[in-house]
Amino acid sequence: EILAEQEATGARMAREVPSMLDNSDIGEAQVKALFSELEKQADFVEKLRMVLEKVGHDFPVITAAERLEERYADLAACVAEKLKAMRE
């Protein structure tokens, strides 16, 4: 199922992104690319959630999609903060 795959990816990203951002060797271009990819994932999951709602999936499935959407948004916000700090 697409949602299960996305949840696994989201869990992996939640583990990997903080360590990426803590790496002193990460450059601004890499942070920008990471932000862009997280934004794409968030957009994809938002569209997936809307489709799931439209076809009438059960509440737990919709809730899982919403949590995943929030996870990607939170990760993108962390990356945006790192990018902001790098530019100061």
Q: How far is CA 81 from CA 43, 65, 74, 76, 87, in A?
A: 19, 24, 11, 9, 10
Residue 80's closest CA among 43, 40, 34, 46?
Answer: 34
pLDDT, one tens digit per residue, over 17-70 is: 999 999 999 999 999 999 999 999 999 999 999 998 999 888 888 899 999 999
CA gap 39, 85 in Å, rounded: 19
Model confidence at 3, pLDDT cuts 50, 70, 90, reads confident
| Helix, strand, coil distribution of the chain in percent, nearest 5 | 90, 0, 10
C-alpha 26: how far from chain center: 19
What pLDDT, on the 0 to 100 scale, is given for residue 57? 86
Q: Would you say residue 1 has pLDDT above 80?
A: no
Question: pTM to 2 decimals?
Answer: 0.86
